[in-house]
Amino acid sequence: MSDNSFATLKLPQAQLDNLDSLGYVGMTPVQAASLPQILDEKDLIVQAKTGSGKTAAFGLGLLDKINPRFFGVQSMVLCPTRELADQVAKELRSLARCIPNIKIVTLCGGTKLRPQADSLEHGAHIVVGTPGRIQDHLSRQTLDISQLETLVLDEADRMLDMGFQDEINHIVRETPESRQTLLFSATFPDSIKKMCRSIQKDSITVKVDAEH
Ligand code: ADP
Ligand code: MG
């Protein structure tokens, strides 16, 4: 077994078979550097370039903790834009093919609130969306994240550049302290460092320069 084989991880056989069927032959460098700790439920800061496979790094981590029998929001991924949220949801759906009855809901602006609220009411395991729309649902009490286990901030530097700091703070306050918090960013300015200190516990920093 090569060092970058997904089989070196503590993943269910069904997921290893699924990764095989997706043509994911081995882990990318960022996946190899972060997945063992992510699966160990540690808080991580991951700095790596676009296209390095960060979605599967957090996706495999959060899916591993999902209880499909509990219809409450257990994982949430915050993204800067609707396009990115759609891409993340698509990748998560591929990775979740081996877990029956997983419901993933995207919550972004530019779409009516009501259908999103109805969808949430029928039970969702994973929410992917933009901070503004997620905050809207929280203030209308159409979204409950009090049982959240995994919070992911994807492209965190872009979210801060777009002025989402207040929304992020508001969202984090509605999640349990016991959550796992994973933060992904292409750059690591002081504003990101400051936010990490306030929302993560004993986080591990993983920096990967190489492209895969
Ligand atoms: P990032 O978020 O780092 O920009 P993505 O997570 O969007 O990158 O991944 C980029 C592309 O690589 C996607 O099309 C994804 O399906 C693919 N990919 C991710 N992990 C692997 C892997 N281990 N093997 C092959 N392709 C992969
Ligand atoms: Mg990405």
Q: In this structure, what CATH number is given to the domain that contains residue 173? A: 3.40.50.300
Q: Is the CB of 51 under 6 A from ligand 1?
A: yes
Residue 134 falls within a domain, yes or no?
yes
Domain count, the chain: 1
What's the confidence (pLDDT) of residue 209? Answer: 82
Q: Is 58 in the pocket of ligand 1 (CB under 6 A)?
A: no
Residue 42 has what pLDDT? Answer: 98
Query: Which of 91, 93, 154 to mutate to test ligand 1, by most ligand atoms within 8 A of the CB atom?
Result: 91
How many angstroms is it from 171 CA to the middle of ligand 1?
Answer: 27
Proximal ligand: closest to the CA of 90: 1
pLDDT level of residue 14 (50, 70, 90 thresholds) = very high
Domain that holds residue 120: 27-207
pTM: 0.97
Q: Note whether residue 19 is domain-resident.
A: no
**The predicted structure's pLDDT at residue 210:** 61
Query: Whole-number mean pLDDT of the chain?
Result: 96
Q: Is 27 in the pocket of ligand 1 (CB under 6 A)?
A: yes
ipTM of the complex: 0.99
Three-state helix/strand/coil letters over the chain: CCCCCHHHCCCCHHHHHHHHHCCCCCCCHHHHHHHHHHHCCCCEEEEECCCCCHHHHHHHHHHHHCCCCCCCCCEEEECCCHHHHHHHHHHHHHHHHHCCCCCEEEECCCCCHHHHHHHHHCCCCEEEECHHHHHHHHHCCCCCCCCCCEEEECCHHHHHHCCCHHHHHHHHHCCCCCCEEEEEECCCCHHHHHHHHHHCCCCEEEEECCCC
Q: Is residue 63 part of a domain?
A: yes
Question: What is the pLDDT, as a whole number, of residue 212?
Answer: 45
